[in-house]
A and B are shown apart, each in its own frame.
Chain A
């Protein structure tokens, strides 16, 4: 698959590309639909409830019913909203979450694009979704969504930095920002072992980037009602939600690739299981972890959030980088 990416484009090949994009889209939509179902089931079980069980057997069609409901609702734009921005915001928030999937390699053989700056591309594009959130919050012309959007701006910018700094440790170990190379560099031992501090920082910052509990301040149901989404309904709201969940899977895949050896099995003896299964299992684990946290933790306050980012995570990430480079230099000097 990687090979034909570099061959000249023909009509046939273009057709295959479009088809594979559609397949990826379909797989993602399916995953998201059932991610919401599994989330609600897990939350239900953790709260001594049974979760959705009304639509279809075991409630399996619940999310589909919800999506259909959202799609058939009136497409409503508030009178005093900034119309163009209001309509554009869900797309801007949603598109980057999808685009980042392009650079995530599924195995060493299957990747949609294999660009040298994979990690950089991912982080750069993913941060664009903040823009959609701010646009939506501003254009709604609602005070609650404005506060939510301002929180989103402050939060996402300050957590982007520790996120990137933590990932730098991995990059230094692998000596590359190509995601395939990063996975290949973990053949001996997964990065989570030498980079444990970096992993914890990355996980926390990723939760903040994803707006998940305990960092769900931009939505903050009990404070801001729904934050930047207050005025959104129908399919625009659905697109916001979709973007959020797709991003969740993208982040799960990235964590699996950066710290848990991507498609590599935990032990070479387990090599007979295909790499893609390993990646999917790891991705799902990290995509569902936030739901467990959501069932357990309260929300932090905005000032605590900022303090935590700038005064704890940032210095820790810098120390992590310094330490990693020190180890690498000494190890390099010895050998």
Chain B
């Protein structure tokens, strides 16, 4: 009969009223992301060997870095002078952590980047070093799988 579809539809919405709700309580409660989620990068300045691979692979050229000779003249290699990520254009594609040979730059699952000014989105070495919560455990999956399997 014409109209039964309408009544069945009313039944669906009526039943839904008594089912548990699916919304989360963010921001009252933090939203838990899975560990693989790509958030804001964490940088270990000591591990960096200034190989520039992250800056080269970055599709948006948001990483600028420069090295200086090691302060201890006994040691070879370079250390970081500055390392900036411009989060205005960073697309969190994960390529920088993928190419890093020493895992100096890794992902965290932190995602709250909102600021009041655009300049504040240009994060420097100190800020990235201090961003050390929720660091992703596994950053180079291929290396991991080839050794484990």
Contacts and interface: CB of A to CB of B under 8 A. Distances in A.
B17 interface: yes
Interface string A110-153: 00000000000000000000000000000000000000000000
B143 interface: no
Contact of A42 (B12, B17, B19, B20): B17
Contacts of B22: 48-49
B14 A48 contact: no
Contact of B23 (A42, A50, A295, A297): A50
Instruction: State the main secondary structure of chain A at its contact with B.
Output: helix
B12 to A, nearest CB: 7
Nearest to A293: B10
Contacts of B4: none
Interface residues of B, number: 13
B9 interface: yes
A297 B17 contact: no
A47 B12 CA distance: 10
B1 interface: no
Given A296-B9, A296-B12, A49 B17 contact: no
A297 B14 contact: no
A46 B15 CA distance: 8
A48 B18 CA distance: 9
B9 A46 contact: no
Contact of A45 (B9, B12, B16): B16
B21 A292 contact: no
A208 to B, nearest CB: 16
A45 B6 contact: no
B147 to A, nearest CB: 44
Contacts of B16: 45-48
14 contacts: A44-B21, A45-B16, A45-B17, A46-B13, A46-B14, A46-B16, A46-B17, A49-B23, A292-B10, A292-B13, A293-B10, A295-B13, A296-B10, A296-B12
Interface of A: 42, 44-50, 292-293, 295-297
Interface of B: 6, 9-10, 12-14, 16-17, 19-23
